[in-house]
Amino acid sequence: MPLCRSHPEAALKRAYSGWMLGTDRLVLRQWTDADREPFALMGADPEVMRFFPSRLTEEQSDAFVDRASLHIAKHGWGLWVVEREGEFLGFCGLSVPKFEADFLPGVEIGWRFAQHAWGKGSATEAARAALAYAFDVLALPEVLSFTTVCNTRSRAVMERLGMRHVQNFDHPNIEPRHPQRPHVLYSVSRPSG
Ligand SMILES: CC(C)(COP(=O)(O)OP(=O)(O)OC[C@H]1O[C@@H](n2cnc3c(N)ncnc32)[C@H](O)[C@@H]1OP(=O)(O)O)[C@@H](O)C(=O)NCCC(=O)NCCS
């Protein structure tokens, strides 16, 4: 399968044809059954899931993998597995939020990594490749991202990507008065030229 090792546009375009993106250190790819176990461990880790309403049961974790994998199979893009030297680190990629909000419809960029992968720049590096795909291949005019207000690590990724804070909103799928209901919305526009 094609794999590029840096960001130049031509190399990225070659990589896109195999539903796989590459960066200097990482591969973003379709899910396999071997990813189910490390993903379930991640979803059961309270620190990884600190800013989500709850941790994932094994069934929820498998259902997430099924959905993410089906989306990539159908569209060629989505929430890709991120691996480094064959090791599962987490996921990063693009998705279409299903809830109703005044800033939707749109395409969101998101990420979730196992703790051992934090603090190495992996999320930002993977997200840059996903953003390049969104702008160069899908030709999207804009990409959104959102998280709960207190998720400073995730907000820092958004800011490193050059995304700007647009507004705060209450996530409609999180119950009123839940501490994680207040969210921040970030956005980045397709570079001109
Ligand atoms: C959000 C999340 C992906 C951010 O991970 P992260 O490791 O902080 O972000 P990055 O991978 O971009 O790494 C940046 C850090 O790596 C450091 N770093 C180390 N080596 C680096 C390198 N070679 N290149 C770039 N940065 C490097 C940076 O200095 C930065 O450190 P800092 O946090 O002390 O400032 C991670 O915390 C996570 O998965 N959280 C749980 C899930 C979650 O909340 N997801 C978001 C829901 S919306």
Q: What is the pLDDT of residues 107-150, one digit of tens each?
A: 999 999 999 999 999 999 999 999 999 999 999 999 999 999 99
pLDDT value at residue 18: 53
Burial class (CB in 10 A: 0-12, 13-18, 19+), 179: exposed
Q: What is the mean pLDDT of residues 145-167?
A: 98
pLDDT value at residue 16: 52
DSSP state letters, 145-171? EEEETT-HHHHHHHHHTT-EEEEEEE-
Q: What's the rounded Cα separation, in Å, for the pair 92 and 114?
A: 12
Q: Whose CA is nearest to atom 25 of ligand 1?
A: 121
Q: Whose CA is nearest to atom 48 of ligand 1?
A: 147
pLDDT value at residue 6: 42
Question: How many angstroms does the Cα of residue 119 sit away from the middle of ligand 1?
Answer: 5
Question: Helix 58-75 to helix 36-43 angle, to the nearest 10 degrees?
Answer: 130
State yes or no: pLDDT of 167 exceeds 70: yes
Question: How many angstroms does the Cα of residue 7 sit away from the middle of ligand 1?
Answer: 20
Q: What pLDDT, in 10s, does the model give residues 30-72?
A: 999 999 999 999 999 999 999 998 999 999 999 999 999 999 9
pLDDT value at residue 5: 39
Position 4 in a domain: no
Range of the domain at 144: 9-189
Strand partners, 29: 81
- What are the residues whose beta carbons fall under 8 Å from the beta carbon of 59, sequence distance 6 or more? none
pLDDT value at residue 148: 97
Q: What is the pTM (predicted TM-score) of this model?
A: 0.92
Helical segments of the chain, H only? 9-16, 36-43, 58-75, 122-132, 152-160
Position 122 in a domain: yes
DSSP code of 56? P
Position 34 in a domain: yes
- The total of structural domains in the chain comes to 1
pLDDT value at residue 45: 98
* Locus of tokens 């064959």: 86
The pLDDT confidence band at residue 2, using thresholds 50, 70 and 90, is: very low
Using only C-alpha atoms, the chain has a radius of gyration, in whole angstroms, of: 16
Q: By C-alpha distance, which of 79, 139, 138 is closest to 109?
A: 79
Cβ atoms of 188 and 165 within 8 Å: the answer is no
Position 2 in a domain: no
The pLDDT confidence band at residue 192, using thresholds 50, 70 and 90, is: confident
CB atoms within 10 A of CB 43: 21
* Locus of tokens 């969104």: 134
Position 1 in a domain: no
Q: What is the CATH number of the domain that holds 39?
A: 3.40.630.30
Q: Whose CA is nearest to atom 31 of ligand 1?
A: 119
